[in-house]
Structure 1
Amino acid sequence: MSSAAGSDTAPGQEPDTTTKRGMFSSLKVRNYRLFATGAVVSNTGTWMSRIAQDWLVLSITGSSFAVGITTALQFLPMLLFGLFGGVIADRYPKRQILLCTQAALGGLGLLLAALTLSGHVQVWHVYVIAFALGMVTVVDNPARQTFVVEMVGPGEIRNAVSLNSANFQAARLIGPAVAGVLITAVGSGWAFLLNGLSFLAPLAGLLMMRTAELHKVERVPRGKGQLREGLHYVAGRPELIWPIVLVGFIGTFGFNFPIILTGFVNHVYHSGASTYGLLNTIIALGSLGGALLAARRGRTRLRLLVAAAFAFGMLEVVAAVAPSFWMFALLLLPIGVFGMTFNTSANASVQLASDPAMRGRVMSLYMMVFVGGTPIGGPVVGWVTDTYGARVGFLSGGLVAALAAVGVGLVLARVGGLRLKVDLHRGKDHRLIEFVPREGAAAPLVTAA
């Protein structure tokens, strides 16, 4: 049995990646295989439920703003209480935490199924259950994110994070398609029922794990000021704070696909649930490709993070003005690729740059910013979509994402001692635009990380 606490690299440095690893190398670890198998089942159910939930709210209210409110309520607890989830993840055994949270998520899915199948569901029921799901996720998210390193160790963390994303996106390929068929054929309630039952798979996987094979990470004892300690830790490290800032902008304004896609399907293309499921499947296909490409990557530089965020935002701008349905649909593929490249790069970089004893609190702040921004961005994008149309809503979110990438990129370049160089000379050894070290500057942070 190896020890993560003893073998972890120094914060801000990546493990040695000179040994070539395969795309699925972390699946050689039995505990992680159990985790990933359970996750793909529950993730499929979760995507079915998300599509059914959005469509249920839209069918009851006819409003994209109401869909935005539902999304906001589900992620509001992360904004309000996210840091507390990180303290819990650092303080208690993560496997036991996940057994409790996964059971609670399944129970809430079954409750929504019972209300819908009985014909008594109202929009306020969906709102309350969405908020309750968010409360459970406050604890589940940082525990699940940081439990990965306990299963595979720091040497495989980048691969495992990428495969987690690929797992999630593979489920996203199946879930929306199945949900579209179920909604059309028998109604949303059956999608909610299957989602609730799907959580039996991760619970079984957690119970079957060999705890002796987990990489031990020292738990943080109960004490005062741990939230403040975590915030000060992140604030003093540019390799943590600026990626998290960029994650906040992208998560708040760029990843509002439930609101945007329901707006396009309902008001631009005048179609139904099957088209909504199709568009979600297309963007999931691109995201899956992005996750698998990330799994092959040995290192992630912050400049890749910034470039992926900029490309993601600009592609949203182009998609917003696409003149035809199929052009819009095809643009969702690269949007998915660059969105997932940004997501996996940010997640793995922040985890690797964090001290193991701080990782739970750092990742809770990461998730609080990424997911917790939705209560702000969701209603805003929903209101813009309802008032000015889906195209303007998508265009606005893309512009914010692209401008945030430019701003954070310039800040990281300055912090890392870099300057922008424009070379108009032609030739294979000349780049038109690149960042180069300023005279007398230390090793650049942007290229090293």
Structure 2
Amino acid sequence: VQHRKFAALNNRQFLHFWIAITLALAGLWIRITVQGFLVYDMTSDKFLLGLVGFLSAMPVLLLSPIVGVVVDRFERRKVLFATQAFMATNLLVLATLDAFGALRVSHILIIATLTGAASAFDWPARLSLVPNLVKPHELQSAVALNSAAFNGARIVGPVVGGMLIAVIGTAACFYLSAFAFLPSMLVLLTLTVDRALPAQKRDSAIRTLVDGYQYIWKFPTLRSLLSVDLVPVIFGMSFFTLLPALTRDVYDRGAEGLGFLYAADGAGAFIGVMIIAAMTSLRRRGFWVIVFVFLFAVIQILFSFAPTLYIGMVFIFGLGLVSAIYGTLADTLIQTIVHDEFRGRVMAVYSTFWGLTPIGYLQIGIIAQHWGTQRAILVNACVVLLYVLALIKWNPEVRRLN
């Protein structure tokens, strides 16, 4: 049974890809942790924390139509390699500026924007590449393990980043983050991908883009799956950008405490995706997606009242757990029903929702500046709760997904 549950790990090519991507994602989370700490340490400005998140995510929204066309028209392995190399280069620049004492907040904002642009290509290319590396019976475990790589990195990266800030300094942390991309770049050069590029007549990029949106619109089930993450992503995930302020101003902790919060969320998320990877026979998945989005909103309301770091870690662990479960269920359903020729465009639309997070980042930053960090988190949690209740009442289609 265990052999079937994690079948993708028996695929040597996917195994190498998975390990390397996990290291790269850990490096990414080291950068996110150190970057947030550094900005707040330099400025004590909650709005600037929101602005960094805004600039990191806005390119995902702006570039997603182009990304979908690129991922479907070109070799996904090469697209992913280019994005990994570009992100590593940006991190090396950030580290060097910091090492020589020349780093300013403006530099962090610029590099956050550039890495955000690379991330716009990274996620759709990675998600679209996974089904090309595995056999059909390995797909569900591959999708779940891909999510586990992201969430496992959320455990390791913040802990390493938070603890190493005091030991080796922020510049060395940025260098470590950059070098973490090297294994994935090497693995990508060696992959053999089972996917033929479109050999038929080559439509224009605009026609290719329009075809992708028409494909999504024709399938109500796919539309419902893509829509269910919209509000939870914009408003529910925005609390991440305030964690440095929450750690210092509410919990009276430093970089180590911030790392613990990130790690608690990542630990919950890792356990969540492992649960879903093992539950291959789960039915009524659409129903369970709704249930866990509802739980996400309720736990976040409780998290907004947490008075200490350790209580906050308990609630943020729960947030990671339930968000990973509903997110992985939705990811698996989408990857299972979509046709491969449209996969890149569908994944780009999916990642567009994450590109909308700048709205939540700026909004929660403004609220926190005027009303306080915890109240800002509470407001956005209530928005997600109202959304779920509306979804249950007016979109029963989602509940019937299997």
The TM-score normalised by the length of structure 2 is 0.94
Unaligned runs of 5+ in 2: none
On the 8 A contact 2:247/2:309 being kept in 1, the answer is: no
| Residue 59 (structure 2) aligned to one of 64, 77, 81 | 77
1:379 aligned residue? 362
1:359 Cα shift? 1.0
Looking at structure 2, the residues matched to 52 and 328 of structure 1 have their Cα atoms a distance apart, in angstroms, of 20
Equivalent positions of 1:38-437 (< 5 A) are 38-209=20-191, 211=192, 214-219=193-198, 221-223=202-204, 224-298=206-280, 299=282, 301-369=285-353, 371-413=354-396, 416=397
User: Which amino acid in the other structure matches residue 361 of structure 1?
Assistant: R
Instruction: Name the CA distance, whole Å, in 1 between partners of 2:101 and 2:300.
Output: 38
Instruction: Give the CA deviation at 1:21.
Output: 5.3
Change (3 A) 1:345 1:217: farther
Hey, what's the Cα distance between the residues in 2 that align with 1:250 and 1:153? Answer: 32
1:37 and 1:249 map into 2 onto residues whose CA distance is: 31
| Equivalent position amino acid for 2:335 in 1 | Q
Q: 1:388 to 1:149 in 2, by over 3 A?
A: same
Q: Structure 1 residues 321 and 364, CA, compared in 2 at 3 Å: closer, same or farther?
A: same
2-side partners of 1:73 and 1:156: how far apart? 36
Distance 1:406 1:236 in 2: 26
**Equivalents in 2 of 1:314, 1:64: separation in Å?**
25
1:257-292 CA deviation, whole Å, 9 max, x = no partner?
A: 432322321221122111111111111111110010
Residue-by-residue CA offset, 1:421-445 (whole Å, 9 max, x unaligned): xxxxxxxxxxxxxxxxxxxxxxxx7
- String of CA shifts for 1:48-82, please: whole Å, max 9, x gaps: 11100001111111112111111110111111111
Distance across 2 between alignment mates of 1:236 and 1:318? 39
Q: Distance in 2 between matches of 1:176 and 1:398?
A: 23
How far is 1:393 from its partner?
A: 1.4
How far the C-alpha of 1:448 sits from its partner, in A, is: 4.2
Q: CA, structure 1 residues 197+323, in 2 after alignment: closer, same or farther (shift >3 Å)?
A: closer
Query: What is the CA-CA distance between 1:323 and the residue it aligns to?
Result: 4.0
Q: Distance in 2 between matches of 1:448 and 1:280?
A: 32
**Greater displacement, 143-152 / 183-192:** 183-192
1:313 partner amino acid: A
Distance 2:50 2:170 in 1: 19
Amino acid across the alignment from 1:377: G
What does residue 432 of structure 1 align with?
none
Counterpart code for 2:182: L
Q: Give 2:400's aligned residue.
A: 447
Distance 2:73 2:392 in 1: 34
> CA separation of 1:361/1:207 partners in 2, compared to 1, >3 Å: closer, same or farther?
same
1:64–1:385: 8 Å Cα contact kept in structure 2? yes
* In structure 1, distance between residues paired with 2:154 and 2:246: 19
Alpha-carbon distance in 2 for matches of 1:246, 1:40? 27
Q: Give secondary structure in 2 for the equivalent of 1:322.
A: coil
Number of aligned positions between the proteins: 397
After superposition, give the CA deviation of every residue in 1:299-357 in whole Å (9 maximum; x if it has no partner). 46111111111111110001112344422221112111101112111212122221221
Unmatched tracts of structure 1, length 5 or more: 1-18, 417-444
C-alpha distance in structure 1 between counterparts of 2:136 and 2:347, whole Å? 15
Task: For residue 124 of structure 1, report the CA deviation from its aligned partner.
Answer: 0.8
TM-score scaled by structure 1? Answer: 0.84
CA contact (8 A) 2:261 2:312 kept: no
Residue 231 of structure 2 contacts residue 387 of structure 2 at CA under 8 Å; is this kept in 1?
yes
Deviation of the 1:20 alpha carbon: 7.8
C-alpha deviation, 1:22, in angstroms: 3.5
- What's the CA shift string for 1:186-231, capped at 9, x where partnerless? 321111101111111101111232x1xx332553734242222222
State the Cα deviation string for residues 331-390 of structure 1 (Å, max 9, x = none): 112111101112111212122221221111011000011x11111110101111221112
Q: Name the Cα RMSD after superposition.
A: 1.8
Q: One-letter code of the match for 2:194?
A: H
> Is residue 142–residue 367 contact of structure 1 (8 Å, CA) maintained in 2?
yes
Deviation at 1:408, TM superposition (A): 2.4
Summarize deviations over 1:89-117 as a string: whole Å, max 9, x none. 01011111112111111111111111111
- CA deviations 1:6-60 (Å, max 9, x no partner) are xxxxxxxxxxxxx985442201111101111111211111111110000111111
Gap change, CA 1:411 and 1:20, over 3 Å in 2? farther
* Residue number in structure 2 paired with 1:27: 9
**Letter aligned with residue 219 of structure 1:** P
Quote the Cα distance in structure 1 between the aligned partners of 2:220 and 2:245: 38
Write out per-residue CA displacement over residues 370-419 of structure 1, whole angstroms, 9 at most, x where no aligned residue. Answer: x1111111010111122111211111221122222222233331xx4xxx
Change (3 A) 1:50 1:404: same
CA offsets, 1:96-142, max 9 Å, x none?
Answer: 11121111111111111111111101111011111111111222221
